Structure 1
Amino acid sequence: MKRLRALLIKEFIQMRRDKLTLAMMLVFPMVQLLLFGYAINTDVKHLPTIVFDQSLQQDSRDLLNSLTSSEYFDIKYVANSFQEINDAVDSGKTKVGIIIPPDFSENLKHGRTATVQVIVDATDSLSASSAISAAQLIGQLKSQKILLQKMQGYTGHTTQNPYEIRIRPWYNSDFVSAFYMVPGIMGVILTMTMVMITSMAIVRERERGTLEQLIVTPMKNWELMMGKIIPYSIVGYVQVTVSILVGILVFDLPIRGSLGLLYGLTSFFIIASLAQGILISTVAKTQMQAMQMSFFVFLPSILLSGFMFPREAMPLFFNLLGNILPLTFYLQIMRSIILKGVGFSIVWPQVLSLIIYIMIALVISIKKFQKKVA
């Protein structure tokens, strides 16, 4: 018992000294609870929507009011052409496009079926399913209301449906889950390996005592950072290549955009992930701390980036928190190029965000890293 008591006292003292590890052990479960409790929501509402109303009558406004009142559609933009609808959905600014034809009100007044086209970005199956279900249900309710009014006015009734909601799922019309998941898994694999490997790079040098060899070299801090980043960048490209080949050969993943552009823009994400790992390595004192901090970054990256759960369904705070994660922007780039076939003119905002992240992470890492033995 005395030996056990001594061992317990020693472990508690060690835990108290290792304040960073203790803090991670206490904070990490709390972060998990908050993320799963508040951020994760599969009931997707408030989808950004663009409307091209060619009717501009009271009937079309009533329909749009019904759609927005359901809380599933937030009308963010008003289009003046079909091209504006295409551009908004291609760029990811909106998830839904609603097109009301010019004869919409006339068809309703004369007892003919009034059609409405609803374009849905189906790269995100959960968001698309919510939009489709809500639009079809609202169309059915509006039709039932009109039919009931007609039945109250005279005997007999028409079987013609007043409203017809024509759904057009784009980019993944068959809702193949692999088309949505494979690009996301590629980003997750890169995040997991790049951040975890590099986060332990400098820490491992310090623990092994080889940091002195780096100190006596005439290299500058930024040169040392690049020396740690470039070799792992090659590993990242190998992972991307293998993932793409598996996606094409096994899951029939379509590559609708430029493969060269995809590889070129992947470099920004690889460097951003490596810079994130380097930043962790300058803070952590042991490899265990570096691994714990890597998981602390890895879990929010999976849950808040849009990899598994739509970001539109998250509360505002967690949605904004996801905007500081490199994986969030890389997933948008990957899915836009692979599934939508867009070019650089569409994804440049995401690329710019990655560049800004790289600059901030590397500057902080270089300033924190001191070429001396801790």
Structure 2
Amino acid sequence: MMRRVAIVGIGFTPFRPLSPEVSYRELVYESAQRAYHDAGINPREDVDSFITVAEDYEEGTAIFDEYTPDQLGAALRPVHTITADGLYAISAGYMLIQTGQCEVVVVEGHSKASNVLTPSYISALALDPIYNRPLRFHPACLAGMEMARFLVETGTVREQCLRVAVKNRRNALLNPLAPYGADLTLEEALASPPAFAPLSEVEMSRSADGAIVVVLASEEATRRLKGHPVWIRGVGWCSDSPTLETREWGEAVYAHLSARMAYRLAGIRNPAREVHLAEIDDTYAYKELMHMEALGLCRRGEAGRLVEEGATERDGLLPVNVSGGSLGMGHLGEATGLARLAEAVMHLRGDAERRQVKGAQTALVQSWRGVPSSSGAVVVLGV
């Protein structure tokens, strides 16, 4: 019999381009304190396992899970690291509780991207060492190539991608956590300098520092805790081909397969009608459109038109990235999916203040690890 699993606590720091006055440990500690207070738990007594998401190359430390217990209150307790986006850790925590092995699990993700001087060098290490890495191209050029293919295959036009950047940067103005809010016009976006054609600078998310901690609990444990539980209705994850030469360039296969898995668990048959808001990956503006289509929120080739018509605005038929997404909040590395998740939880609780989507009861959260990977995860939440 399936056990119900809830998110009972969230904690986070504001996201900033730079945070020289604090270490990643201090960011995590601050977020953990807030999450534990939100859930009404003592980490030394109530938590059965801790999961952190981190990439050793970005941390500058191997076996990173040995560096996380202190700030989480997890010393001498079960801790492990997942080298993937934070939604993978949510899925792992969900499964730990499903097995009956754990009643309460804590998931942590953070970013100190400002400490990384050469992020493109780290991304390049994920390229095939024989066929691709010796070419020494900037990994983000893959996004430009993928965008070009997406536009050709779907009939999407560049102005529709730019509207995503305009929308999300404007949404971020209502989000006190977001450092990259801006009241851009489409004309200003069109004038943005080119980066990796057809991708321009305004369509690329910038990095940020911050931390997010999430507390998961079984239904039985939830009854003992305070707060407003948000239920995990479904999880899914998938990795497409790691080989650049054989993957699909015009669609997000990983997102489609992840969503299919999560929808099956959640009992969702028509996501376009059943989902009330979506917090999905927008590392690049075109990716929001690509992911909308892969997630079944619209038909292939329709996402650009929906954005153009205002359907994805906060008061539209299907609000998408009301938080500002990564374009407005900043890209948080492996913690990016947790930022999307925390936003969705706030809406389902009714705690999103000025950006609240009224009446939201089902939320879709999706993540992608970024170039050059083709891995992603999906979580469906409900109240």
Higher relative strand content: 2
- Shorter-normalised TM range: under 0.3
State which structure, 1 or 2, has the greater radius of gyration over its C-alpha atoms.
Answer: 1
Higher relative helix content: 1
- RCO comparison, higher one (Cα < 8 Å, 6+): 2
TM-score, normalising length: structure 1: 0.24
TM-score, normalising length: structure 2: 0.24
